[in-house]
Every structure is written in C-alpha cells, then in structure tokens.
C-alpha cells in the first residue's frame, strides 16, 4: 500500500517489467514513460489491453498517436476507448471537448499484471508521479485479477476500438441506438456480477475483498448500495477522503442524521488541481468552496468535522473511506470521488476491504495518518469568509451534478 507518487510509479514500473502473460490498464496513457513500459512488455510477447475514456484519450493527438503506433506494430496489443452513452451527437457538436467530460467518463483506475492488481484513484500523468496526493494498493490475488480482467474486457466490448490506427465505434452507438446499447450492456454486466457472486460466495477468511461497480447509465449501482449500507452502520468511526467535496444528497442526509463520528478530508482551494487554471475551469475551486460552505452550514452537532489538505507545491486527489468498528475494520479504495459525478455519470470501480488482521489494519491506519499529516481542521467561519466571484453560486447550482 502506497500513499506517495514516487513509490507508486516505482511499483508500477516493477510490475510492467516483471509481467509475463498479460497486462491490462484502465486509464489515460499520456506519459511517454508509460508507453515505453508497454512497448517493452509487448516486445517480450506479453499480451496488453488498455481501456481509456474516449474523450480524455483522444483529447490530444500526441497521446492517440503514441497508442496507435503500438497497435499497428504489435498484434497482441489492443486499445479501447469507452464513450458514455449519455454523450449523444448533439452534445458532441455543441460542447467543447474538455466540457464533454462532465457528462460522464470511464473513470476506473485499474492496472493488472498477471495475477497482481494495482487499484488507485490516480491518473497516469505527470502530476500524479510528482506532487499530486492520491492512494495506491497492490494486491496479489488470482481471483481478483481474473475479475478485473473480465471486467475490462467486458466494458471494452461496448467501447470504441482502435484498429489499424483508426477508431471504430460500437455499432449500436454508431447507429445512435442508445437504448438498445444500454439494455444489452446492462444485461451482460449483471450476468458478470451474478457469475462472480456465485463463484466467490464460499470464500472466507480474516480479510474479505468485495469489488463494487457503479455505472448508473445502465442501472448498475453496486457501489452506491454498498456505501449507503456502510454509512448507516451504528457505532462506527468514519474517516473519509474526498477528492472533491460534493456529497450527493443521499450520502449527505445519512451523515447529517447519524450519531457516528465523521472526519472528512478534502483539498484547500489552493490544493485543488484546477487552482490557477485557465478559462472557465479556474472557477472550479471556487465552486467547491461554495459547496463545502453549503455542506458545513447544515451541521447540527460536532460529530462531523471537515479537514483541508494544505501542502505547498502539492495538490490533493485522494479519495476513500476508513471505518473502525468494535470487531472489524473496513477500508474502501478505488476511483470514486464520492461526489455526484461518480454516483450518476462516471464508470467507477471500488474495493470494500473488511479485515480482522491486525497487520493489515495497521497498514490502513498508517495510510490514513500519512494522508492527514498536511491537513488542518476547517471552520464554518473560514468557509464563509472565502471570496466567491459574483456568478459562482448560480454556476455551481447549474453544474453541481457534473462536479
């Protein structure tokens, strides 16, 4: 388990170099170093398959060209680009490419190397390897590796495929038969979930790992259901890391009516990845500040505390949950930001890990402690005092479900 960018990239490079049979990745591949590692594996004869978001993966010609060069050179390399069925032809025509992402992404961060899996919330670009705080966990388990291998291949089936250097749409999407596409996609994912539930129902031990998917577009709400059930437990202390603090009403209501302790860590405005960006995205940190203030003013008791990550030269992107009960300890790690977009628009994958193992529990606690080192408690007074551009309240209400 790693919380530092340096350790995470060292681990990924090691797994790339040692993989012997199959590598799968579900993320963007913007860095030449990642493409070089993929090529080195392909030269050894390793089968490689990647699944990235269509709009992120085709945002720059450079990234697309790097991936296309591998696809044309190696027959055992496959590349797929997931396109959200919510993004129809009209949205693509009228919205700038960067804004289209707000309607839905392939957001899973899964890296499979033979029987090992790295699950994370981090993208594969420069910031995450240098000074962007996130979480990474390496698990050596054949069942989990097979699960994610099948999952990536299934979603790839309903994605745009790169063949001979050209992108080919899924036939149902190409013909704008989106209702039929969603129905068939949902049916196969439900069959996949049912099969794995049946295959693993007898597995027991001190540590249980339960994967959970969220693809709201096609009616898959595993992660949402699991999170609601978890948050409603009594007698539990919760620590939550939110990449962007914009809790959906369904989670917010549970927290506000609970007697459990909740410590929530999010980024200070200056540590938001969009701070000092150009164009309309420069207002995003202001929007999250406004949403944080709106949330904090609803507190009835002192059982909920909000902390802000503030570290000079760094940005915050960590997300997850730690739950400490009387007999068991649970940690949640994955791609979900616990916000509206993760719940209703993006494709997300999480692991709910329940353990009685004292050593593993200590590792989770150390991970939480490390993430908390640069965090300070926030107050309603501080949140209220922050400057908001005049139009930000109206803009935030309009785009809240995209944040």
- Residues whose CB is less than 8 angstroms from the CB of residue 279 and which lie 6 or more positions away in sequence, other chains included: none
Residue 314: the pLDDT is 92
Average pLDDT estimate for 49-59: 88
Task: Taking residues 226-251, report their average pLDDT.
Answer: 95
78 versus 133: the higher-pLDDT residue is: 78
Q: What is the pLDDT of residue 18?
A: 65
* Per-residue pLDDT tens digits for 262-288: 999 999 988 887 777 777 778 888 889
Q: Please say if the pLDDT value at position 204 is more than 60.
A: yes
| Beta-strand runs (E) in 180-284 | 207-215, 220-221, 237-241, 261-267
Rounded to the nearest 10°, the torsion over CA 388, 389, 395, 401 is -30
- Write down the pLDDT at residue 200: 77
pLDDT at 389: 79
* C-alpha 210: how far from chain center: 16
Question: 212-234: per-residue pLDDT in tens?
Answer: 999 999 999 999 999 999 999 99
Given a cut of 70, whether residue 4 has pLDDT beyond it is: no
Q: Which two tokens stand for residue 377?
A: 């408690």
Residue 9, pLDDT score: 58
Distances (CA, A) of 94 to 87, 88, 90, 97, 281: 11, 11, 6, 9, 18
For residue 401, give the nearest of 93, 107, 104, 178 by alpha carbon: 104
Instruction: Using alpha carbons, list the distances in angstroms from residue 91 to 61, 81, 101, 334, 340.
Output: 21, 18, 11, 29, 20
pLDDT tens, position by position, 145-188? 999 999 999 999 999 999 998 999 989 888 888 999 999 999 99
pLDDT at res. 123: 75
**pLDDT for the residue numbered 402:** 85
**Bigger pLDDT: 240 vs 134:** 240
Q: What's 101's DSSP letter?
A: G
Per-residue confidence band for 83, with pLDDT thresholds at 50, 70 and 90: very high
- pLDDT of 278 reads 75
pLDDT of 30 higher than 60: no
Predicted confidence (pLDDT) per residue in 62-80, tens digit:
888 888 999 999 999 999 9
Q: What is the pLDDT of residues 355-384, one digit of tens each?
A: 999 999 999 999 999 999 999 999 999 888
Q: Are 378 and 317 in contact (CB under 8 A)?
A: no
Task: Work out the mean pLDDT of the chain and round it to a whole number.
Answer: 88
Q: What is the mean pLDDT of residues 317-346?
A: 93
Mean per-residue pLDDT for 386-390? 81
pLDDT value, residue 281: 76
Rounded to an integer, what distance in angstroms lies between the CA atom of residue 59 and that of residue 124?
Answer: 15
The arithmetic mean of pLDDT across residues 20-41, rounded, is: 70
- Could you give all domains of the chain from N- to C-terminal order, each with its CATH number? 1-203 (3.30.870.10), 205-403 (3.30.870.10)
* Other CB atoms within 10 Å distance of the CB of residue 146: 15
Worst-scoring range by mean pLDDT, 236-245, 268-277, 303-312, 326-335? 268-277
Write down the residue that tokens 């916000």 correspond to.
339
Task: Quote the pLDDT of residue 1.
Answer: 65
- Predicted confidence (pLDDT) at residue 26 exceeds the cutoff of 70: no
**pLDDT score for 353:** 96
């Amino acid at each position: 388990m790693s919380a530092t960018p340096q350790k995470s990239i060292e681990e990924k490079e090691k797994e790339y170099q040692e993989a012997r049979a199959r590598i799968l990745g579900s993320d963007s591949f913007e860095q030449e170093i990642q493409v070089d590692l993929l090529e080195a594996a392909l030269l050894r004869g390793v089968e490689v398959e990647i699944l990235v978001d269509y709009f992120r993966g085709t945002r720059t010609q450079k990234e697309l060209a790097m991936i296309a060069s591998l696809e044309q050179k190696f027959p055992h390399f496959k590349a797929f680009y997931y396109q959200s069925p919510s993004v129809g032809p009209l949205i693509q025509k009228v919205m700038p490419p960067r804004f289209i992402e707000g309607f839905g992404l392939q957001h899973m961060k899964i890296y499979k190397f033979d029987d090992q899996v790295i699950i994370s919330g981090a993208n594969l670009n420069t910031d995450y390897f240098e000074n962007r705080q996130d979480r990474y966990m390496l698990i050596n388990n054949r069942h989990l590796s097979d699960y994610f291998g099948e999952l990536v291949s299934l979603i790839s089936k309903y994605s745009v495929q790169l063949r001979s250097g050209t992108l080919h749409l899924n036939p149902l999407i190409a013909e704008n038969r989106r209702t039929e596409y969603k129905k068939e996609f949902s049916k196969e994912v439900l069959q996949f979930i049912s099969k794995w539930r049946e295959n693993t129902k007898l597995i027991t031990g001190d540590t249980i790992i339960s994967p959970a998917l969220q693809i709201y577009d096609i009616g898959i709400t595993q992660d949402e259901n699991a999170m609601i059930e978890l948050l409603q437990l009594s007698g539990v202390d919760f620590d939550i890391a939110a990449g962007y603090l914009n809790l959906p009403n369904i989670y917010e209501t549970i927290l506000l009516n609970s007697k459990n302790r909740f410590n929530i860590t999010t980024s200070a405005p200056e540590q938001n990845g969009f701070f000092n960006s150009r164009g309309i995205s420069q207002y995003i940190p202001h929007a999250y500040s406004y949403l944080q203030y709106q949330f904090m003013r609803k507190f009835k008791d002192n059982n909920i505390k909000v902390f802000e990550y503030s570290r000079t030269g760094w940005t915050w992107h960590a997300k997850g949950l730690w739950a400490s009960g009387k007999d068991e300890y649970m940690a949640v790690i994955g791609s979900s930001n616990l916000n509206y977009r993760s719940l209703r628009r993006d494709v997300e994958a999480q692991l709910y890990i329940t353990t009685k193992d004292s050593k593993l529990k200590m590792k989770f606690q150390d991970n939480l402690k490390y993430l908390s080192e640069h965090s300070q408690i926030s107050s309603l007074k501080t949140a209220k005092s922050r400057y908001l551009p005049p139009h930000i309240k109206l803009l935030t209400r309009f785009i809240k479900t995209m944040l």
